[in-house]
Structure 1
Amino acid sequence: MTTTTTPSTHRATVAIGDEQTARRVADLLTENFFEGGAAISAFEGPQGRWDITVHFADAPDQGAVRDLVGLAAGEEIGQAIQFDTVEAKDWVATALEGLVPVHAGRFVVHGRHDRARVAPNRLRIEIEAALAFGTGHHGTTRGCLLLLDMVLKGASPRRVLDLGTGTGVLAIAAARALRRKVLASDIDPSSTRVAAENARLNGMGGLVETIKASGFSAPAFTRRGPFDLVLANILANPLRRMATPMVRHLAPGALVILSGLLPAQAAAVIADYRARGLILRRHIQLEGWSSLLMGKVG
């Protein structure tokens, strides 16, 4: 990887209270600082706070950055941005440092900069880490991949759905392991574009179909279902709201992997799905997050 060392690195950091707003901010910054102008990373903490860090190739117009963030997150967040300058270094590497390959069973999620570090016999998923939404560097994504690996050791689901696909990590993982088509949906059109591109870059473009959809409203769910496996790494409240429509789209004996839950939220989600005929098969906790494997009775 070519280095880009500058006399100094210019950095902006801000904390944002919810994922949707953080996505808007990251998307807007990406659109306005392109072709190497900035490296943007966004990471979620256990309390739902998102920390966004931007490393700039050149000293930014601080007022313009505040205005951009203010458009997406409100003036108060824009004014809360902290700017500083750090010593000379490769600013792209700075944005990627710490994003080492993530191992989850047979799966390995890695960035382009780490291709050489991944054994060729693993199920590799390459996701560029300029934006960290769904790169695998999060307990929820890793939890889902571990449960998916466990499921695929004993089953070979034919119809698979990745609900709330984000960058497409889970859809790509399922398509690569099964060599079957996977439907990947997201409410955010930018996420579906990113997921489609990531699928193509991973050689899964012909197997991963991406659609923009809210819940289960799109005709594709009926056309491609009923599903034998659903992967849903979202948040607790949306998962609870979607329990009834999800069950309607499940095949007999289907398996469902749910994540994006704090441990304190898991019991309520389990109860909602149990009331609709699903039983808990496995519950794992990683990095302060819960991931559930549930199975439909019959």
Structure 2
Amino acid sequence: MIFSFFPSLRSPANRRGMYQISARGARAPVETAWDALAWADPSPAGAVDAKEDGRSVWRLDAFAETHEEAEACVSIIEDVAPELTARIEEVIDRDWVTLSLEGLPPVEAGPFIVAGSHALTRQSPGRISVLIEAGPAFGTGHHGTTLGCLIALDEVRRNRPIGKVLDLGTGSGVLAIAAMKAGATSAIGTDIDLDSVLVANENAQKNNVTGFTAMHVTGANTPRIRRSAPYDTVFANILMRPLIGLAPDIAALTAPGGTIILSGLLHHQAPPVRNAFAARGLDFQKRIREDGWSTLVFQKPAG
């Protein structure tokens, strides 16, 4: 099972106590519960994910550090989606972060292969390989949002130079690193979580990538980001509300003719984000659907 890391979860990789909260049901109540857990402030869930788990059946999984927080997750789920029955399971004596990748096959998106060292060494030469080990930062390539962004990146590289990259919410740095390996000239990554910034910079070194720097900043309108603008390719794999709020800054930071790749969206969340970016004069190109998630691709008019 693959799950998403959120900034509230700063557990080390060798944490040995954790509670998993799971519920299965129709798509609508599962998405409603996902929204409620993701946007609770503060959220009792350190990580939460929703995905299809069979025909017409979806599954919600959340992780909490204490039993009290797990019970709070159940209360939220059953309050907003009474059709669901949430169950708590204690996960003990496991390196649960590493297990999230152990034994998983490499993820392939066009020419890109994303995997940990346990699988990457077995791959054929001639592919663009990105080494991402398990760790407390979002972005292993297995999640539908990251996969959608990689598919969009492949389309960019086949049509024009990737150029200068901005990766907002860089997480593990997987997208920026993949872009650099595919020919980008430079990349800046940002994240509100300091742990993710450290991991992203470490991953760049492990992949022998230079020209990429991850920074611990909030938002997109900071002096360092503005000084390096405009950007030819912009990623923002975060959440719906921050994406809508960042639309003006992203539009301003993108070079004429540049590509904007947005994700972190459940399917029903895509329309308001599309409207927010279209209102900034950006041309909608396509929508990529992967594993219950949507990735939106825009282009800034050339002139």
The interval holding the TM-score normalised by the smaller chain is: 0.7 to 0.9
2:262 is equivalent to residue 258 of structure 1: yes
Equivalent position of 2:221 in the other structure:
217
Compute the RMSD of aligned alpha carbons: 3.5
Q: Distance between the aligned counterparts of 1:261 and 1:92, measured in 2?
A: 23
Tell me by how many angstroms 1:39 deviates. Answer: 11
Seen in structure 2, the aligned counterparts of structure 1 residues 75 and 295 have a Cα distance that, compared at 3 Å, is same
Tell me by how many angstroms 1:247 deviates. Answer: 1.0
Tell me by how many angstroms 1:117 deviates. Answer: 2.6
Unaligned runs of 5+ in 2: 21-46, 52-57, 75-86
2:297 is equivalent to residue 293 of structure 1: yes
8 Å contact kept, 1:19–1:48: no
Deviations 1:149-190 (A, max 9, x none): 011111113221011000000010011111521011111111
1:28 corresponds, among 11, 19, 28, to 11
Tell me by how many angstroms 1:116 deviates. Answer: 2.8
Deviations 1:234-272 (A, max 9, x none): 111111111011111121111101111112121221111
1:199 corresponds, among 184, 193, 204, to 204
Seen in structure 2, the aligned counterparts of structure 1 residues 94 and 189 have a Cα distance that, compared at 3 Å, is closer
State the TM-score, normalizing by the size of structure 1.
0.75
2:165 is equivalent to residue 155 of structure 1: no
Seen in structure 2, the aligned counterparts of structure 1 residues 133 and 216 have a Cα distance that, compared at 3 Å, is closer
Deviations 1:176-225 (A, max 9, x none): 11152101111111111110001110111x22111111111321111111
8 Å contact kept, 2:97–2:134: no
Percent identical pairs in the alignment equals 39
1:277 corresponds, among 253, 269, 281, to 281
Query: How many equivalent residue pairs?
Result: 258
Equivalent position of 2:38 in the other structure:
none
2:272 corresponds, among 256, 268, 272, to 268
Equivalent position of 2:101 in the other structure:
96
8 Å contact kept, 1:40–1:130: no
Which structure is larger by alpha-carbon Rg, 1 or 2? 1
Equivalent position of 1:226 in the other structure:
230
What does 1:113-128 align with in structure 2 at a 5 Å threshold? 113-128=118-133
Seen in structure 2, the aligned counterparts of structure 1 residues 228 and 130 have a Cα distance that, compared at 3 Å, is closer
Tell me by how many angstroms 1:98 deviates. Answer: 4.8
Unaligned runs of 5+ in 1: 1-15, 54-64
8 Å contact kept, 2:107–2:115: yes
Seen in structure 2, the aligned counterparts of structure 1 residues 194 and 288 have a Cα distance that, compared at 3 Å, is same
1:51 corresponds, among 45, 58, 62, to 62
Give the match's secondary structure for 1:28.
coil
